[in-house]
Chains A and B, each alone.
Chain A
Amino acid sequence: MNIFRLVGDLSHLLAILLLLWKIWKTRSCAGVSGKSQIMFGLVYITRYLDLFTNFISIYNTTMKAIFIAVAIATIYLIYFKFKATYDSNHDTFRMEFLIVPVGGLAFLVNHDFTALEILWTFSIYLESVAILPQLFMISKTGEAETITSHYLFALGSYRALYIVNWVYRYYFEGFFDLIAIVAGCVQTILYCDFFYLYVTKVMHGKKLSLPA
């Protein structure tokens, strides 16, 4: 565990708690992509199946359990409790366009051809693109609420910090996992455009809106 990894994890935790809190507090999930949240739920569930097979640390187990619980709670709020506020007209990205190719790739490119390993690989690949429905939704409506943009910033920071963590681990521990690194870089690149808008608009007190 290095500092980049720890701050990355905390940023990840902050992001998902922030989104859950916002939906709960405003009693609304307007502007939030339910499809991205379903895919993140799928990411955590398929990745953390090793909760049952492999104990790493209290920290690891606790964080995994929190991620799964928060993801399920968020999906529940969007699709059940506050369904009336869900912007389904703008959440039109087709999940199968991501899940099917990613599933195929996980079968073809993985470390080991076993069920758990393929599901882990699937989850790594899926996480790298799971935010696309949310970004697509923002590009469709042309704007995002400020808390939603803080959520995206925290989530993107987590990915960027993980890259620094991998560089650190490569140099100091000789450890690297190419699948995680490539997928993590793809994922971080997807946030670059958003980071630019966040720094130029939201940090100056403006709402995130796209130029017409």
Chain B
Amino acid sequence: KYAKSEKDEL
């Protein structure tokens, strides 16, 4: 599963 909105990592 990949979602761009999940870029929560630093």
Contact = CB atoms under 8 A, between A and B. Distances in A.
A54 B4 CA distance: 11
A54 B10 contact: no
Interface size range of chain B in the complex: under 10
Interface string A160-196: 0010010000000011110010000000000000000
Interface string A47-83: 0001000101100100110010000000000000000
A179 B10 CA distance: 14
Contact of B8 (A60, A117, A120, A162): A60
Nearest to A184: B9
Nearest to B7: A50
Nearest to B3: A175
Contacts of A162: 9
A174 B7 CA distance: 15
Contacts of B9: 5, 162, 165, 180
A146 B8 CA distance: 33
Contacts of A117: 4
A112 B4 contact: yes
A175 B4 CA distance: 12
Contacts of B4: 111-112, 117
Contact of A64 (B1, B6, B10): B10
Contacts of A176: 1-2
12 contacts: A1-B8, A54-B5, A54-B7, A57-B8, A60-B8, A60-B10, A111-B4, A112-B4, A165-B9, A175-B1, A175-B6, A177-B6
Given A176-B1, A180-B9, 14 more contacts: A5-B9, A9-B10, A12-B10, A54-B7, A56-B7, A56-B8, A57-B8, A60-B8, A67-B10, A117-B4, A120-B7, A165-B9, A175-B6, A177-B6
Q: What are the 4 A-B residue pairs with the smallest beta carbon separation, nearest first?
A: A56-B8, A63-B10, A174-B1, A9-B10
